[in-house]
Amino acid sequence: MPFIRVWLHIVWSTKNREPYLKNEVREVLFEHMRKNAKEKNIYVDRINGSIDHVHCLVSLGSDQTIAKVVQMLKGEASHWINSQNILKEQFEWQDAYFSVSVSESNVETVRRYIDNQEEHHQKKSFAEEYQEFQKIYQFG
Q: Where residue 99 sits, what CATH number does that domain have? A: 3.30.70.1290
Q: What is the pLDDT of residues 42-77, one digit of tens each?
A: 999 999 999 999 999 999 999 999 999 999 999 999
Please state the pTM of the whole predicted model: 0.88
Domain extent, residue 95, equals 6-137
Q: Is residue 41 a contact partner of residue 109, using CB atoms and an 8 Å limit? A: no
- Gap between the Cα atoms of 102 and 53, Å rounded: 19
Asked if the structure places residue 80 within a domain, the reply is yes
Q: What is the pLDDT of residues 31-45, one digit of tens each?
A: 999 999 999 999 999
Asked if the structure places residue 1 within a domain, the reply is no
Who's near 108: CB < 8 A, 6+ residues apart?
A: none
